[in-house]
Amino acid sequence: MRILSLLFLASSLAVAQQSAAPPACSLSQQKQFDFWLGDWDLTSPSDKPGEVVHSANSIKRILGGCIIQENFQTGDTSLIGTSVSVFEPVVGKWKQTWVDNQGSYLDFTGELKDGQMILSREATRPDGTKIMQRMVWKNITANELDWSWERSKDSGKTWEVVWPIHYKRK
């Protein structure tokens, strides 16, 4: 009887292991933001002609590797912010939430398409008008990439680059 019980237990465990769900955050799409991981030196145009603003960004995986966390800071610390990004398998999109020392809370949704990661959102201005905003990661290589903050006043038909940043891996 003991042998029969042990055989039943062993076969039950084998079936349970075979039908177990895949490890959390193991979908290939959940690796699409891996190009962004690491420590980066950033440069962007200054409001003053001919000058450049230097910033830093550190991006890592947290919470069992399921979440991408960003920690951004301009060189003069006038803007310090953090974001968390996650791939949501049910909708097949990335979602990102950004908060910063200026009281901003921004939420984005998007995807990797044609070699560019594009996350966007609709915002309401203080006067009540709607505007589209997006972030675009492009020209991605192992050690450099370009990021831009863009806006559209015509529901996404045309886009204006507001803040271009060049990333170079430390």
How does pLDDT run across 63-103, given as a tens digit for each residue? Answer: 999 999 999 999 999 999 999 999 999 999 999 999 999 99
How far, in Å, CA of 164 to CA of 154, rounded?
Answer: 20
Asked if residue 34 is part of any domain, the answer here is yes
CATH of the domain at 52: 2.40.128.20
How far, in Å, CA of 93 to CA of 115, rounded?
Answer: 15
Q: Tell me which residue range forms the domain holding 99.
A: 24-169
Asked if residue 141 is part of any domain, the answer here is yes
- Total-model pTM: 0.84
Asked if residue 116 is part of any domain, the answer here is yes
How does pLDDT run across 119-148, given as a tens digit for each residue? Answer: 999 999 999 999 999 999 999 999 999 999
Specify the number of domains making up the chain: 1
How far, in Å, CA of 29 to CA of 133, rounded?
Answer: 23
Beta-carbon contacts of 82 under 8 Å, excluding residues fewer than 6 positions away, are: 69, 70, 71, 72, 98, 99, 100
Asked if residue 17 is part of any domain, the answer here is no
Confidence at residue 47, expressed as pLDDT on a 0 to 100 scale: 87
Asked if residue 70 is part of any domain, the answer here is yes
Asked if residue 18 is part of any domain, the answer here is no
